[in-house]
A = this chain, B = another copy of it.
């Protein structure tokens, strides 16, 4: 545990496209969330793990009693690390790793209040970031801010995008102003410019995580999902977000270029809640992109967009249909550990 903040020691959050040491995932285990879909989710998680393992090592955190099934499902070559967990969203509950540009790696542990819901039964997940950093013997910066990793995207050069719906939501940090939140992002991630989008996807149970609507693909370029149908409520939301992006400059003064991704056809969970289907919820691995498909005619078009945006990476599409029923997709269930020395 460190009493100072990351920028005091020169740490910042690198872009996801910088080299990784490893990808962290967690094995689906929360019956109350997944219900009858848990086994299908596990199969899908294992498929994502294997796809990423083609590019970089993957550690699958699993409850001790599920190590065997996780390992058998994932197969050879996937690390399984037994730690107490409540569910399986390492983007939100794992550490946000930071680097100092000189080879050292540390991590930030945010406060976790179950996506604003303050539900019981998430004590292990609230401690997961610290557990992972402790395992790596890496320094842990404990941030006095409720935040999930999926609510932010950075360009690794001082710019962060997020949504007002999530980060300014009174269910997260009711006592902090926009300016105070920006100050925390500066101190803990080395951010000099926050670009505020408005809302996330309709019915997104995370209160509008940015990783379901947009992602940096390199400094100055953001890919954003855009429904074709103007009647879709996401159309108005994303028109506003894209306008905000195009009207913004990043920390280096660059105007933001936006490339649009198609949106898969509307799908609902049995309870009538719209699923947050998004091709923007991809993971950037070493030399690869692992993106979701949804058995949707738009799959190939979305893939073609990312193929073009990442000419030096292999784009692999894995079905996200059995993951998204849990509330997120490939980016939400992964967390990159940047290359470098956690003991540095």
Say yes or no: is A83 at the interface (Cβ < 8 Å to chain B). Answer: yes
A79 B77 Cβ-Cβ under 8 A? no
* Residue in A53, A81, A286 with the greatest tally of chain B CB atoms within 10 Å: A81
A71 contacts B75, CB within 8 Å? no
Residue in B57, B64, B137 whose beta carbon sits within 8 Å of that of A135 in the complex: B57
**Copies of this chain assembled into the complex:** 2
How far is it, in angstroms, between the C-alpha of A51 and the C-alpha of B75 when the chains are bound?
Answer: 27
Contact flags A60-78 to B (C-beta < 8 A → 1, else 0): 0000100110011001111
Chain B residues with Cβ below 8 Å from A20 are 343
- From residue 7 to 26 of chain A, which have CB atoms closer than 8 A to chain B? 19-21
List chain B residues, Cβ under 8 A from A55: 137
Q: Which B residues are CB-close (under 8 A) to A343? A: 19-20, 56, 286, 339
Q: Establish whether residues B79 and A59, one from each chain, have CB atoms under 8 Å apart when the complex forms.
A: yes
Q: What mask results when residues 281 to 315 of chain A are scored 1 for a CB within 8 Å of chain B, else 0?
A: 00000100000000000000000000000000000
Answer whether residue A341 sits at the interface, using C-beta atoms and an 8 A cutoff.
yes
Q: A339-B341, A340-B341 are in contact. Are A137 and B286 (CB under 8 A)?
A: yes
**Which of B64, B75, B136, B286 interacts with A57 by CB under 8 Å?**
B136
A80 adjacent to B79 (CB under 8 Å): yes
Q: Nearest Cβ distance between residue A62 and chain B, in whole angstroms? A: 9
Does A342 reach chain B (CB closer than 8 Å)? yes
User: How distant is the Cα of A67 from the Cα of B71 in the complex, in angstroms?
Assistant: 7
Q: How far is the CB of A106 from chain B (nearest CB, A)?
A: 13
Let me know if A83 and B72 touch, CB within 8 A: no
Q: Is the CB of A71 within 8 A of B82?
A: yes
Q: Check A80/B71 contact, CB under 8 A, given A135-B57, A340-B341.
A: yes
B19 touches A21 (CB 8 A): no
Is A344's beta carbon under 8 Å from chain B?
Answer: yes
Chain B residue numbers with a CB within 8 Å of A67 are 67-68, 71-72, 80
Partner of A64, one of B56, B75, B344: B75
B residues near A64, Cβ cutoff 8 Å: 71-72, 75-76
Q: Please, which residues of chain B bring their CB within 8 A of the CB of A286?
A: 137, 343
**A116 in contact (CB, < 8 A):** no
Contact with B along A328-344 (1 / 0, CB 8 A): 00000000000111111
CA distance A195 to B137 in the complex (A): 35
Contacts of A77 in B (CB 8 A): 81-83, 131, 135
Contact with A344, one of B19, B76, B78 (Cβ below 8 angstroms): B19
Best-buried of A59, A131, A135 by chain B (most CB within 10 Å): A135
A144 proximal to B (CB < 8 A): no
Contact A78 B81, beta carbon cutoff 8 Å: yes
Q: Are A21 and B342 neighbours in the complex by a CB distance under 8 Å? A: yes
Residues of B within 8 A of A131 (CB): 77
A103 at the interface (CB under 8 A from B): yes
A99 to B279, CA, bound (A): 39
A137 touches B82 (CB 8 A): no
Supply 5 A–B pairs (Cβ within 8 Å), ascending by A: A55-B137, A56-B137, A59-B79, A77-B82, A79-B80
